[in-house]
Structure formats: C-alpha cells, structure tokens
Amino acid sequence: DIQMTQSPSSLAASVGDRVTITCRASQSISRSLNWVQQKPGKVPKVLIHAASLLQSGVPSRFSGSGSGTDFTLTITSLQPEDFATYYCQQSYSTPLTFGGGTKVEI
C-alpha cells in the first residue's frame, strides 16, 4: 500500500494568512494526488485533482503543486470558511489511501 504522510497534523492561523500543507507519498505517484476538504459534520469535497488542477467552483486562493512523492497545498489569504480539515489522497493505485489530515484552526 502507498502510505501518505501529511504535515503538520494541525495548525492555527488567522484570516488573511498564507497556509501551506505538505503531503509525502511512500513511493512515486506521479501527479496522482488529490486534495480534499472536510468541514465538521460535512461531506468531504475535492479541491484539487491531478496535483495542481483546481476543481470547478473552488476559489483560486487554493493551489496545489508537486509530483513524484512530495506535494503541497497552499491557501493564500485564508478565509473564515477555510477552517476545516484537509486530506491528501493518492489515486495512483489501489488501495486508494488518504493522508492523516491537517486541521486548520483559528
């Protein structure tokens, strides 16, 4: 199985801050990396697929980069609605696996 390791596991930030979350895969996954946002009690939703492609309807303050084993999710100018948990997820091979999550708190 491909292990996905996210860091940090949590962070505190303020509205307007730039936030960076990293994800590392245990083996190369090319660009087969998605970022998923989950707010408390809500259904997860994809923000970015193929490492850097913004899902339709997602604000442009979200961006993704990376390939191979190292990936980054960046939120420029954090908004109140962005406080949530973020997961990376590899889609390179089954079993599909998620990172442990990064909780972004105020």
Question: Taking the complex as a whole, how short is the minimal distance between the CB of residue 71 and another protein, in angstroms?
Answer: 13
Closer of 17 and 103 to another protein (Cβ): 103
Q: What is the DSSP letter of 16?
A: T
* Shortest Å distance, C-beta 86 to another protein: 11
In the complex, the smallest distance separating the C-beta of residue 53 from another protein, rounded to whole angstroms, is: 7
- What does the buried/exposed string (b/e) look like for 5-22 if buried means 16 or more CB atoms within 10 Å of the residue's CB? ebeeeeeeeeeeeebebb
Query: In Å, what is the CA distance from 96 to each residue of 14, 16, 21, 75, 78?
Result: 33, 33, 20, 25, 29
User: In this structure, are residues 60 and 74 in contact, taking their beta carbons and an 8 Å threshold?
Assistant: no
Q: Rounded to an integer, what distance in angstroms lies between the CA atom of residue 87 and that of residue 102?
A: 7
Contacts with another protein by CB under 8 A lie at 1, 30-32, 34, 36, 38, 43-46, 49-53, 55, 87, 89, 91, 94-101
Of the pair 15, 53, the CB lying nearest another protein is at: 53
Closer of 75 and 87 to another protein (Cβ): 87
Minimum gap (Å) between residue 100 Cβ and another protein: 5
